[in-house]
Amino acid sequence: MRRAVRNRLQWWLQNSVPRKTEWTNTYWPGEDFIPVRISSRITIFKIPKQPFYYNSDPLLGWGSRTTSGVEIEIIPHGRHRLLLREPYARELAVAMLRSLKRVQSESGRAAEIDPQHEQPAGVAVVTQ
C-alpha cells in the first residue's frame, strides 16, 4: 500500500510540474523576477475556492504589482475554466458591472445600472 501511494504521488508530481520551455520561463520567470508596479487599482475576478495547488496569497500575487490596491470580486458559483460560459458568464458580468459602477461612482460619473437587476439599462438578458 505504501509503495502504491508513493508511486502515485511521484507520478502525479512529475506530471504536474511544467516542463522547462521558453513559454514556461516567460510565464513563470523565476525567483529573481521583480514585477513592475503601476499606480492603478487592480480588480481580480475569482472563484470562491482556489485549487489547492494555486498560490495561497489571497491577492494571487497582484498586491506587489500596484501602489493603489487590489479589489477582489468573487464569482459565487464560478468554475475557473468555465467563467466565460453560461451560467457563469452571467455571474462574471454582474461582478464586472458592480466593479464598473464602483469606479464610476468614485470618479463622480453616474452609472446607468438598473439596481433591481444589476445590469445596464437597455440591455436584455436572454435565457434559454
Taking only the tens of pLDDT, the chain with its 128 residues reads: 788 887 777 776 665 555 667 777 777 777 887 878 888 889 988 888 877 777 678 888 888 888 988 998 888 887 777 888 888 888 889 899 999 998 888 877 654 555 554 544 444 443 33
What pLDDT is attached to residue 125? Answer: 44
In a domain, 92, yes or no: yes
pLDDT at 43 (0 to 100):
92
Asked whether residue 6 is assigned to any structural domain, the reply reads no
Query: What is the distance between the alpha carbons of residues 126 and 35, in angstroms, rounded to a whole number?
Result: 42
Residue 128 pLDDT: 35
pLDDT at position 118 is 52
Residue 98's Cβ-side half-sphere holds a number of Cα atoms within 13 Å equal to 16
CA gap 42, 65 in Å, rounded: 9
Enter the C-alpha cell of residue 21. 520551455
| Strand residues in the chain grouped as ranges (E) | 42-46, 70-74, 113-114, 119-120
Does the global pTM surpass 0.85?
Answer: no
The answer to whether residue 22 is domain-embedded is no
* pLDDT value at residue 16: 56
**Owning domain of residue 65:** 34-120
Q: How many domains does the chain have?
A: 1
